[in-house]
Structure 1
Amino acid sequence: MTATEVPRAGEADGFAVLPVPRQRQDASVPALTLLVIGDDPAGTFTAPELFDGAGTRVRIRRARNLTEAERLLTDDVHCVLLVLDGDGLESLRRLLRLAPSTAVLVLTGDGAGEVGEPGEAVRIGAQDHLSRDELDGSHLTRAIRYAVERKRADLAQRQLTETRLLAQENSRLERGLLPTPLLDGADLRFAARYRPGRSRALLGGDFYDTVRTSDGTVHAMIGDVCGHGPDAAALGVELRIAWRALTFAGLSGDLLLSTLQKVLENERSDDEIFATLCTLDIAPDGGRADLYLAGHPAPLLTGADGVPRLLPYEAGGPALGLLPQAAWSRIEVELGASWSLMLYTDGLIEGRIGQGTQRLGQDGMVGMITRQLAGGLRGEDLLDAAVTEARELNGGELTDDVAVVLLDRVAPARILGLPAQIQRSSG
């Protein structure tokens, strides 16, 4: 025995003596904490620390049984060494339920009778199965290191799997919130952008949809449920699906909005929750539309002259869910032969400008879109630029959900009197 080793009890009951250097107490050496559970008749784990040749320092705690161990299983315990007793694998199963995130080693005698086959403990959930007759300080510290790393790898893989499953589930929900437009047969181009206000979220309370019914009418809608979080997102999905079903069933205008209000009143979790909505019914010839506003900002129309203008909003009605007997008036809109319509939620216009309290607002948005149109931006590029500039003006991410929908109609060249190549490059 060297001068740096502590005398131990003998090798009774099959335990080997573990050398524990006295002088290596360097706090900079990475340390692991081992909790030993069970009887230790040979006094193998009485020393507070042990080392191996690689410099691994292991602090040792002791518990006589699982009841005592439950109090000692704190977050700084890296590994548990369970000395199996007459309960066999049942005590291991109990330990795994107590410490699902902690590495576990089991220690038995040289026979397999206590736990069945040696691999059975590992199959149940332990990281390794050690035998008393092979135990020494170097072997134990190496087993602890490997067990801790295997457990970390297992937990990382589990978290990765859970994250992937959550992402897949969120993607399925997102597809319900952000639908594919049904515009077959319409001479319109569609583009949309959506950005939830919650950090790392895929879903928000904004919702939109666009469909073409059998009579050739194109119906577009955008809305915003007050509040944030999954409840608002779920309600937005419900309203969008209800709108699509009711539209295909032939409802429109005031009757459609009244029915959607009933859906909201029955599905909302709080009587204070409301939703704003904007609907457009574009005639089959594309030259005119009926607009209904329920507490929502008016769309932006850009005609053949290339100048964007806000549609009238004075005749709009209240948001859904505010007044039990509300009514909504039709606003007739002349679109012309060639036009672009932008529907948006208030998240786009409520961002701040610079360091002050001034917000972008509708007038600021009109000026922003005017500049971007003059710069030749159209379609998805226009929407990307609008959301990006609003974010930059805000000095960072916009805190509210943002949804923007763009519908473009370009008249045939014979109507505009333009060469075909110019017609293809416009919009």
Structure 2
Amino acid sequence: MPTVSVIPSTPPSYRILLVEDDEGDALLVEELLLDTGLPFTLTVCTSLAQVRTQLLATGAAFDCILLDLHLPDVSGTDAVTAVRALAPHVAVIVLTGLAEAQAGPEAMTAGAQDYLVKGKVDGDLLHRTLRYAVYRSQTERMNADAQAARLRAEENARLERGLLPRPLLDLSTVKITTRYLPGVEMALLGGDFLDVVEGDDGLLHAVVGDVSGHGPEAAALGVCLRIAWRSLVLGGHRDNDLLHLMERILVAERDDPQLFATCSLLTLDQAAGTATLHLAGHHSPLLSAPGATSEVTAAHGIALGIMPGLRNWPRTVVPLPPQGALTLYTDGLTEGHNGATGERLGIEGLLTLIDNLPATDPALHVDQLIERTNSLNAGRHSDDLAVLRLDWTSGSDR
């Protein structure tokens, strides 16, 4: 079993794992560590099998591994490769024998930060080598984390361009406000999507949708559905026909048969003063008129991909006030909890928030609403959040 020695110290200790099957050499290394004057905790293992068990048990919570190249179950650079695979972010210093001239450089080529020759090590050399190896390992990890963050940011930017495109408008004077907030900080975007286009029929068409699940697969499927929706709308497809084709695309493109998508389709006809809705497993939008906001009463249909081919998406026509706004959103806006009561915010809580917000610019109003819901939820976003708001006035008729 591994043995552990603890040297009390006020400053943070170096957490060191010594892998050495020779008891005399292990004792010598511990004495050299004492001579360094560095605060440390030392764990000793005598085989790769013990190392594996120790690293799994502690989550590789070490700053440095001092590794002998001749163990009962592994030797040479294979030992370095095996240890690096088990603890890729821990500094490795190899301990070689006097007769192993090439062993140290070969170990560094295999991934070790440095090497020391047994019998030629004193406290000062071990002090410098240990500190430098740990510093180098930490720097490599920070660089790797920074690179991973850059890659995530680039992937987010690519996905965001697909999920949140620029509205395609010609002559419409409707003011468009869109917002997206990922559910998990630094995560890839989820499957929420939205879009707005003005068709050749002069009507304004909008969609807000949400693919079940999170991560790149959901985001890629959301991008696919968003692009399909725009293409189909511009191609003249409408209503149930449009949803049927979107569902066929979803079924064909999804890798997991359990994945589905909800969405709200909206067609705004300013000349007629109406909005036509089709809800596929999605909640109703909010209708704001001067002094009041309420949830639109609309018929609900089934989510896309739940029962392919059912085609149950009833049509609802909503009369609009001369001046107002329609807000379509995904459930990240309502599924958070109220930190004071522990209850979900829900639609009633959302409407109460809106009533208490000051009348202001639409974009600022949406930002304040998102900020307020996030604050009530104590900053814990468990789901992605997408909001699309359409504002019009009586003087904006063409």
User: Residue 47 and residue 268 in structure 1: after superposition, are their counterparts in 2 closer, same or farther (change >3 A)?
Assistant: same
Q: Following TM superposition, by how much is the alpha carbon of 1:102 offset from its aligned partner in structure 2, in angstroms?
A: 3.7
Indicate the residue corresponding to 1:346 in structure 2.
Answer: 331
Shift of 1:340: 1.8
Residue 8 of structure 1: aligned partner: none
Structure 1 stretches lacking a partner, 5+ long: 1-23, 85-89, 416-427
8 Å CA contact 1:82, 1:92 repeated in 2: no
- Structure 1 residue 209, shift from structure 2 partner: 1.2
Alignment correspondent of 2:194: 208
Provide the residue aligned with 2:140 in structure 1: 154
* Structure 2 equivalent of residue 181 of structure 1: 167
Contact map agreement 2:152 2:186 (CA 8 A) in 1: no
Aligned to 1:368: 353
SS of 1:47 mapped into structure 2: helix
Q: Does 1:390 align with 2:373?
A: yes
The CA deviation at 1:154 is 1.9
Confirm or deny: 8 A CA contact 1:286 1:337 kept in the other structure: no
- Determine helix, strand or coil for the equivalent of 2:158: helix
Does residue 293 of structure 2 align to residue 312 of structure 1? no
Letter in 1 for 2:313: W
Residue 255 of structure 1 aligns with an amino acid whose one-letter code is D
Cα gap change, 1:408 to 1:147, in 2 (>3 Å): same
CA distance in 2, matches of 1:238, 1:220: 16
One of 296, 300, 314 as aligned partner of 2:286: 300
The alignment of Structure 1 onto Structure 2 pairs a total of residues equal to 375
Aligned-pair RMSD on alpha carbons?
A: 4.0
From 311, 314, 328, the equivalent of 2:313 is 328
The 3 A distance-change label for structure 1 pair 172 and 136 is: same
Shift of 1:25: 8.3
Q: Which residue of 2 aligns with 1:217?
A: 203
Contact kept in structure 1, 2:188 and 2:216, CA below 8 Å: no
Q: How far did residue 211 of structure 1 move?
A: 1.7
- SS across alignment from 1:194: strand
Checking the alignment, whether the CA contact within 8 Å between 1:280 and 1:289 is kept in structure 2 is yes
CA distance in 1, matches of 2:348, 2:126: 72
What is the TM-score normalised by the length of structure 2? Answer: 0.76
Shift of 1:379: 1.3
Q: Compared with structure 1, are the counterparts of its residues 367 and 216 closer, same or farther at alpha carbon in structure 2 (3 Å cutoff)?
A: same
1:95 aligns with 2:80: yes
**Which runs of no fewer than 5 residues in structure 2 stay unpaired?**
56-61
CA distance in 1, matches of 2:17, 2:247: 61
Cα contact 1:48–1:59 (8 A) shared by 2: no
Aligned residue number for residue 59 of structure 2 = none
Task: Note closer, same or farther for the CA distance 1:149–1:252 as it changes in structure 2 (3 Å cut).
Answer: same
Separation in 1 of the partners of 2:377 and 2:141? 39
Q: 1:108-150: CA deviations, max 9, x gaps?
A: 6889x9429x867645533235456853333233322322222
Per-residue CA deviations over 1:303-347 (Å, capped at 9, x if unaligned) read 4x4543443304x43332344322434333343554322112333
Q: Secondary structure at the match of 2:206?
A: strand
Q: Is the 8 A contact 1:82 1:107 kept in 2?
A: yes
- 2:298 is paired with a residue of what secondary structure? coil
Report what 1:19 is aligned to.
Answer: none
1:28 match: 9
Q: Could you tell me whether the CA contact under 8 Å between 1:345 and 1:403 is conserved in 2? A: yes
Q: Percent identity?
A: 38
Give, as a single letter, the amino acid of the residue that structure 2 aligns with 1:344: Y
SS in 2 for 1:298: coil
Amino acid at match of 1:35: L
What is the CA distance between 1:407 and its match in structure 2?
A: 1.2
Amino acid at match of 1:164: R
Q: Is 1:249 aligned to residue 249 of structure 2?
A: no
